[in-house]
């Protein structure tokens, strides 16, 4: 687990723009917050439970609202993804019966494989794509649905729980991800509502860090319950959604 004092001491050292995406840096420069508001924000983070948030590259990222969600780790899906880049795996999974039921449609399979493809592409680990995609499809087929209700859902547990599958995460043991679907998609949610926002998790080494799933799920569950209008969140741009959700999260954890 992550020690809060360690986070605060290492986070303040070396704060700056190094490693920040062009999108984030260009959007933030020139928009400094009032000192009073900044101090309150820092104090709330100092009181927060940081066990399952990861280790930010610097305090600057926390202060600017770029942690644990980050614009670099936000996927926006405006229409059903094309299966062009993963058609062979999709065909094999369809032959196994995945994506052919009332609770697990072929459309959902396209979303699952596209998201998995983007994650493995981002981390430069294409060798994990088939295993991650297959495991996420199998999880969905068991009824552990991505669409939880209230227009939200989760995408996780596609990494194996045993063995070493190292991933070059940005924030130490885990990275938080966000998937925005402005028009919504039918993920056969428990309440029948379309899903607009998915929260995701990638571990640096699932064999070693698998225990972080539970506290991460607890944080996400609290966040889902604290926000009334997830459709509005799905229609924000990457930076706005990131900063809004991180602000809400610190209020919950403080």
Spatial contact of 52 and 58, defined as CB atoms under 8 Å apart: no
Per-residue tokens: 161: 């729980």
Share of the chain above pLDDT 70, in %: 78
Taking all residues of the chain, what is their mean pLDDT, rounded to a whole number?
80
148 within some domain? yes
In this predicted model, what pLDDT tens digit does every residue of 133-189 receive, in sequence order?
999 999 888 866 666 778 998 888 888 877 677 999 999 999 999 999 999 988 878
**Residues 124 and 215 reside in one and the same domain:** yes
For residues 226 and 251, what is the distance between their CA atoms, to the nearest angstrom?
10
**Residues 162 and 217 reside in one and the same domain:** yes
251 within some domain? no
Displacement of CA 162 from its chain's centroid (Å): 21
CATH code for the domain in which residue 118 is found: 3.40.930.10
Single out the residue in 25, 50, 71 at which a domain terminates: 71
CA distances to 68, 104, 189 from 143, in Å: 28, 8, 10
**Residues 28 and 80 reside in one and the same domain:** no
**Residues 148 and 43 reside in one and the same domain:** no
Q: How many domains, in total, are found in the chain?
A: 2
**Residues 61 and 107 reside in one and the same domain:** no
In this predicted model, what pLDDT tens digit does every residue of 42-73 receive, in sequence order?
666 666 556 578 888 888 888 888 999 999 99
For residues 154 and 144, what is the distance between their CA atoms, to the nearest angstrom?
10
The parent domain of residue 207 ranges over: 72-237
Q: Is residue 41 very low, low, confident or very high in pLDDT (cuts 50, 70, 90)?
A: low
């Amino acid at each position: 687990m992550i020690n809060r004092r360690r986070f605060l001491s290492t986070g303040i050292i070396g704060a700056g723009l190094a490693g920040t995406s062009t999108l984030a840096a260009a959007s933030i420069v020139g928009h400094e917050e009032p000192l009073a508001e900044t101090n309150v924000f820092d104090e709330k983070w100092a009181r927060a439970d940081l066990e399952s948030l990861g280790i930010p590259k610097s305090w600057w990222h926390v202060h600017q609202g770029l942690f644990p969600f980050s614009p670099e780790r936000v996927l926006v899906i405006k229409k059903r993804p094309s299966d062009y880049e993963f058609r062979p795996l999709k065909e094999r999974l369809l032959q196994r019966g995945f994506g052919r039921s009332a609770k697990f449609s072929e459309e959902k399979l396209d979303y699952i494989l596209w998201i998995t493809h983007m994650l493995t592409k981002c981390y430069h680990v294409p060798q994990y794509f088939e295993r991650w995609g297959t495991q996420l499809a199998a999880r969905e087929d068991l009824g552990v649905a991505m669409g939880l209700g209230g227009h939200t859902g989760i995408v996780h547990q596609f990494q194996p729980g045993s063995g070493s599958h190292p991933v070059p995460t940005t924030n130490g043991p885990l990275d938080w991800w966000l998937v925005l679907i402005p028009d919504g998609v039918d993920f056969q949610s428990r309440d029948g509502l379309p899903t607009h926002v998915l929260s995701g998790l990638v571990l640096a080494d699932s064999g070693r860090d698998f225990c972080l799933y539970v506290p991460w799920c607890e944080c996400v569950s609290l966040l889902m319950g604290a926000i009334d209008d997830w459709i509005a969140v799905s229609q924000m741009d990457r930076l706005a959604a990131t900063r809004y959700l991180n602000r809400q999260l610190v209020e919950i954890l403080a």
